Amino acid sequence: MWTILKLIEWTADYFTKNGVPNPRLDAELLLAHTLNKKRIDLYLAFEAAVSETDLATFKGYIQRRAKREPLQYITGVQEFYGIPIKVTPAVLIPRPETEILVEKALKTVLASVGSGVLASETPTHLDAGTPIRILDLCTGSGAIIAALASQLPEARFVGTDISKAALEIAGQNTEKWKDRVTLLRGDLFMPIAGKTFDLIISNPPYCPEVERASLQPEVRDHEPAEALFAGANGLAIIRKIIADAPKFLKPEGWLFMEIGEAQAEKVKELIKAMACYKEPEVIKDYSGIERIIAVQTK
C-alpha cells in the first residue's frame, strides 16, 4: 500500500537519481497537485493511502519531471505576486526576480503627485486625475500586468507580444481586469503607433545565444526560445526598447526593464548615449545581481 509519506520519499529519491533540483519539494508539490490538496495538508495525512487512480496520474507526473519538464508546466500554474498565473510551454515561467521589477514600478506609480508626474518618492495616495497608462512589452503570460492591475485599480494597461499563443494565455491571466487591459499582437512598439504612456515596463528576452548550452534543461529544452534569447550578447531587444521608448513615453515618463547578469554597465551606456533620458538607476535582485533598470525621460 502506497501512503503519502512513502510516495514522497520514493519520488524524492528517484528525482535525486535523475538530477532533478529540489527533489523532495518537487515530489511534495506534484503529489499535492495530484490529490488536489495544499502541500501542508500532506503533512497532516502522511499515513493516508493513495488510490490507484491517483497513483497512475502521479506516475505520469513523475515521468515528466524526471525528463526535466518544469514543474510549473506540469501543474499549469505559477504564483506571482500572490496571484496564480496560468503557464504553458507557450510562455516563460514568471520568476521571483520579476516581482522586484513589479515592486519598483508599483512604488513609482504610487508616488504619483498632483502634478501628474511620476515622482521618485512614495506618498500614501494615487493621484485621482487622468488614469495612468502602462505599457508592458513582451507581456508573455501577462503576469506583470496582472500583478500591477491587482494593485492599481485606476490604471490602464496595454500588453504587446509577437506570440499569438502567449497572448491567449495572457488574456486568461488578465481576465479579471479585462475592462482595463488591452492585449495586442506585434513586435514591441509596432501595435501601438501614435500612443503614449506614463510608464513602460518589460521583462524582455535577454539571454545571450552563447549561453544556451549552459542553461538548465528545464529552461533550455522547454521554455520558449523567443522569450529567452536575444542575439549574441543578449542585448538585441533591450537595445531596441531603449532606442524607441522615448517616442511612446510622456514627458518625465518611466522605463523599467529586467536585464541579465553582467549587462547593467552596457545597458547604462546605451541609456546615457541618448540625451532624452535622466540618470538610470540599477536595482539588485535577491542574489545581489544587478537585475532591474529604472530610468526617466526628461
User: Which residues form the domain of 34?
Assistant: 4-67
pLDDT of residue 115 exceeding 90, the answer is no
Say yes or no: 164 and 38 in one domain.
no
CATH number of the domain encompassing residue 257? 3.40.50.150
pLDDT class of 192 with cuts at 50, 70, 90: very high
Say yes or no: 104 and 48 in one domain.
no
Say yes or no: 138 and 248 in one domain.
yes
Q: What does the pLDDT read at residue 109?
A: 87
Count structural domains, the chain. Answer: 2
Say yes or no: 57 and 150 in one domain.
no
pLDDT of residue 60 exceeding 70, the answer is yes
Say yes or no: 153 and 280 in one domain.
yes
Q: What does the pLDDT read at residue 1?
A: 86
Say yes or no: 101 and 182 in one domain.
yes
In a domain, 109, yes or no: yes
Say yes or no: 114 and 218 in one domain.
yes
Q: What does the pLDDT read at residue 116?
A: 45
Residue percentage of the chain with pLDDT more than 90: 90
pTM of the model: 0.90
In a domain, 101, yes or no: yes
pLDDT class of 67 with cuts at 50, 70, 90: very high
- Residue 208 CB partners (closer than 8 Å, separation 6+): 229, 230, 231, 232, 233, 234, 260
